[in-house]
Amino acid sequence: MPNIQDKVVVITGASSGIGAETAKVLASKGARLVLGARRKDRLFRVVGELRESGGTALAEPTDVTRFDEVQRLAQFALDAFGEIDVLVNCAGIMPVSPLSMARMEEWNRVIDTNIKGVLHGIGAVLPAMKERGEGHIINLASIAGHQVFPNMAVYCATKHAVCALSEGLRKENPEIRVTLISPGMVATELTESIELEVYRKGFQEAYLRQAMTPKAVASAITYAINQPPSVEINEVVLRPTSQEV
C-alpha cells in the first residue's frame, strides 16, 4: 500500500539538488510539501514548478543554522496543514580544506549547518511527533559519514555526527521512524560550497565524470517514506556504480 498520499513533508535545503528533486518526486505522489532554504528566489521557483505540475507546496525561507527560523518553518507547516508527518533534514554544505589551514570560520559554518542544522530540525518537530505518537525524520548523511577523506575531515566529522544523532534518535524514540541516507557523489550544486578553487575544480571534474543524479537519492527517500507504518528503513547507502571509495 503506498504511504505517501497527503503526507505533510517538510524539507530543508529544498532550493536545489537532492532536496528540490525529493520535493518533486514526493509532490508527484500526492505529498503536501513545505520547503525551507535561504535563497528565496530559488525556493519559490521550486514551489512554482511543483504547483504547475499539480502538486501541493508551500515555502518558508529558512536558515537552518538558526533554531528560531527552523521552529518558524515547522510552525508554518503546522499552521498550513495541521501536522508534520515527515521531516527531511537535507540542508548542507561541503567545504574542503586541510586541517593545517585552520579555516576556523569555515569549520564553524559547516558545523552550524550540517550538525546544528540537523539538531534544529529534530528539536523543531520531535516534541509534536512524540505527542502524536508517530512521525518520520530523515537525515542526509553521506559516505563521508562512514569513512574519512583527506582534506575533508571536518565535513566527514559532521556527517559522522549525523549518523550518531540518527542512531540516538532511533533508540530513544521507538514510535518515530528514523532514516539515514548516505549517498556517494550526486550531481548537485554542493561542490560550489567548496571555497578553495584548487579543490573545487578537482571535485567538479570528478563529479562530472561520475556523479549519479539527485533522482537516485530522491528515490531512496521516497522508498523509505512509502513503507507501511510498522516498517522503518534505517539506512540507505548508495553510490554511483563506478565510484570506488
Ligand X SMILES: NC(=O)c1ccc[n+]([C@@H]2O[C@H](COP(=O)([O-])OP(=O)(O)OC[C@H]3O[C@@H](n4cnc5c(N)ncnc54)[C@H](OP(=O)(O)O)[C@@H]3O)[C@@H](O)[C@H]2O)c1
For the annotated catalytic residues, the residue numbers are 155
Cα–Cα nearest to 125, from 116, 139, 135: 135
CA dist., res. 35 & res. 44, Å (int): 9
Distance between start and end Cα atoms, the chain: 36
Binding status of residue 97 toward ligand X by CB under 6 A: no
Binding status of residue 179 toward ligand X by CB under 6 A: no
Binding status of residue 15 toward ligand X by CB under 6 A: yes
Lookup result for grid cell 549525523? 162
Judged by CB under 6 A, the chain residues 204 through 243 that form the site for ligand X are none
Contact segment (CB under 6 A) with ligand X among 25-33, 125-133, 184-192, 228-236 equals 184-192
Instruction: Convert residues 114-153 into a mask of x (bound to ligand X by CB under 6 A) and - (unbound).
Output: --------------------------x-x-----------
For 59, the 3-state DSSP assignment is strand
Among 55, 92, 135, 240, binds ligand X (CB under 6 A): 92
Binding status of residue 95 toward ligand X by CB under 6 A: no
CA dist., res. 97 & res. 29, Å (int): 40
Judged by CB under 6 A, the chain residues 23 through 52 that form the site for ligand X are 37-39, 42
Among 10, 19, 121, 240, binds ligand X (CB under 6 A): 19
CA dist., res. 37 & res. 242, Å (int): 31
Tell me the CA distances in angstroms from 25 to 9, 123, 133, one per residue in order.
12, 26, 26
Among 91, 156, 165, 233, binds ligand X (CB under 6 A): 91
Number of Cβ within 10 Å of residue 236's Cβ equals 17
**Positions that interact with ligand X (CB under 6 A):** 12-19, 37-39, 42, 62-65, 90-94, 113, 140, 142, 183, 185-186, 188-190
